[in-house]
Amino acid sequence: MSFLLQLPCPSGRVKIRKIFPLETNLFVQQPTPAPHSPSLTRQEKQRGQIVVVTGVKLNPTETGIELILQTPTGEAELLQPNNVSSGNNFIVEIPNTQLQLPNSKPFRQANPIEGISEVTVTNIDANTIRVTVTGETAQPQVELFDSDQGLIFGFTPTQQEIVSIDRVQLNQTETGFEIILLTPTGTAQQLRVVNISEGNNFIAE
């Protein structure tokens, strides 16, 4: 298997909800459709309503940790996180929500378990909460649950795999040349190239 660079010459719990794009590392399932009810829809309930998060709990699990955003009973399903993750940081912003902890401070826990360096929950404006979980070497894997307690995020640390490059091959092309990084079979897709070129120098990490 090879990785090719072409150069010119000289990315109790009630149910599990699927609310994030498929390309993120989320182990989620589609919820079972609820029976028809004449009550207000979720969108109608959400309109103009601010859900208050009154507590934040961080508990150990068999595979990592769980973060519980405690809300009044029945209001967790109104929370709709938007995934804005970047790099090693799993980040969601939750609109129509306000963090109101007893000490009136943001929540922060450093190094809760091996593989996760920090967990924070903060207000970024009057009606939006941001949850950030930072992995030590890679973004953690995530499960999302509704619960009578509130909204629950389950985090499992992800260890970044090291890909070995067995050989570097330089080939001439019609327009310049190409560099081939020869790797063990099935591992080339794990390589992520970051272009940090400067001036006339092509530089990749």
- Average pLDDT of 136-151? 89
Among 55-64, 66-75, 196-205, name the one with the lowest average pLDDT: 196-205
Res 161: pLDDT: 65
pLDDT tens across 19-44, in order?
Answer: 443 334 444 333 444 444 444 455 54
Mean pLDDT of the chain: 78
- C-alpha span between 22 and 14 (Å, rounded): 22
- Average pLDDT of 163-189? 77
Whole-prediction pTM: 0.62
Q: Which residue has the higher pLDDT, 156 or 148?
A: 156
Q: How many CA atoms lie within 13 A of 152 on its CB side?
A: 19
Res 90: pLDDT: 95
Among 62-66, 132-136, 172-176, 199-203, name the one with the lowest average pLDDT: 199-203
- The domains found in the chain, sorted by start residue, are 14-156 (2.60.40.3500)
- C-alpha span between 204 and 193 (Å, rounded): 6
Residue 9 pLDDT > 50: no
Res 169: pLDDT: 83
C-alpha separations of 79 from 7, 50, 59, 63, 162 in Å: 47, 10, 21, 25, 37
pLDDT band at 160 (very low <50, low <70, confident <90, very high): low
Query: β-pairing, 141-147 with 128-135?
Result: unpaired
